[in-house]
Structure 1
Amino acid sequence: MNHNEEYELREQLAGLLWGGFAPNIILLREFDHRKAGVILDGLHFSAWILLGHIRARHKTFLQFMKHPEKEIDLWPKAQWPENHQPGKEEWNKAIDEYEAELNEMIALVKDPEIPLFERQSNGRNFSWAAMTVLHHTGYHIGQLKTIGRQLGVW
């Protein structure tokens, strides 16, 4: 892969991590915090639980990218936070923290000094980590969007 191709791939990964044509941060900020703790019939999660779960997985992969030399379990048992009805400040703080973590991962992905394809001691590389995060986040953001539609957020 030449320099231009690698640059293009890094930019594409960064754009997809941000959410592509539907940025995750915008979607989360549009979600009415007063409905974030509602669990619809037939589901075991609310928007609040989904945001906490997304962040927990994201943090694991971010730690791997920041400290690849550490033995980090990249797929620990799923972390599903306890549900409650967050206040506006708590909801916004969680989104702010997620946005900061997301920006940190995007900066790593875009940094040409970061070896995106180099296998680390656990056999994984940073491009795999970024793609896993965007796949996992996309799946759960889709669920969050569906919950929001059912609750009349959009």
Structure 2
Amino acid sequence: MDHDALLRQHLIRLLTGSEAHANFEAAVENFPVRLRGIVPDGAEYSAWQLLEHLRIAQWDILDFSRNPKYEHMRWPEDYWPKSPEPADDNAWDESVEKFLSDRKEICDLVTDAATDLYAKIPHGEGQTILRQALLTADHNAYHVGQLILLRRLLGAWN
């Protein structure tokens, strides 16, 4: 049994699948335009803010993982949009597309047999690609759950 290939397969399923809960695609699919910028009572963020945070944080993890000239972003200001509403209807679709594109790049990095999942990232402080992939999956799952909760609060989840 090739344990390395098996681990890579499991990581891809963790990053993209919906084995234990709904995935990103289900959370954003047909999200009503009129509800994307609403912050429901008791919630801290709108769906737009969560979507953008997911995109930005995932891109940051990807950038750190492969860019030796990576520059740290400021927390929290660089990770969360200030406005609860997207600038226009296209902004939502563009954010979804960028998220999916960046997720694919993370998956490509993980599936590339030349990528040593256990090697320390040279410009990091002990992080590995394996750790970064797990961090991405964990972070995404957390906020996808929040998106689904918002949809339920807004009456837009089946």
Q: Same fold (TM over 0.5)?
A: yes
1:136 corresponding residue in structure 2: 139
Equivalence for 1:70: 69
Cα deviation, residue 93, structure 1:
1.4
- What amino acid sits opposite 2:69 in the alignment? K
Distance across 2 between alignment mates of 1:120 and 1:104: 17
The answer for unaligned runs of 5 or more in structure 2 is none
Matches for 1:60-99 after TM superposition, within 5 Å: 60-67=60-67, 69-73=68-72, 76-78=74-76, 79-86=79-86, 87-99=88-100
- Give the TM-score normalised by structure 2: 0.86
> Structure 1 residues 89, 108: closer, same or farther in 2, change over 3 A?
same
Structure 1 stretches (4+) deviating beyond 4 angstroms?
A: none
Q: In the TM superposition, what whole-angstrom CA distance separates every residue of 1:71-112 from its partner, at most 9, and x where no partner exists? A: 543x85132102243343221111111111111111111111
User: Counterpart of 1:9?
Assistant: 7
Contact 1:29–1:95 (CA under 8 A) maintained in structure 2: no
Q: Provide the TM-score with structure 1 as the length reference.
A: 0.88
Give the unaligned 5+ runs of structure 1.
none
Give the number of aligned pairs: 150
Secondary structure of 1:30's counterpart equals coil
Supply the distance in 1 between the matched residues of 2:60 and 2:83 (Cα, whole angstroms): 21
Pair 1:127 & 2:125 matched: no
CA RMSD, 1 decimal: 1.8
- Distance (Å, rounded) in 2 between the aligned partners of 1:128 and 1:100: 20
Matched, 1:116 2:117: yes
Identity %: 29
Report the counterpart of residue 152 of structure 1 in structure 2.
155
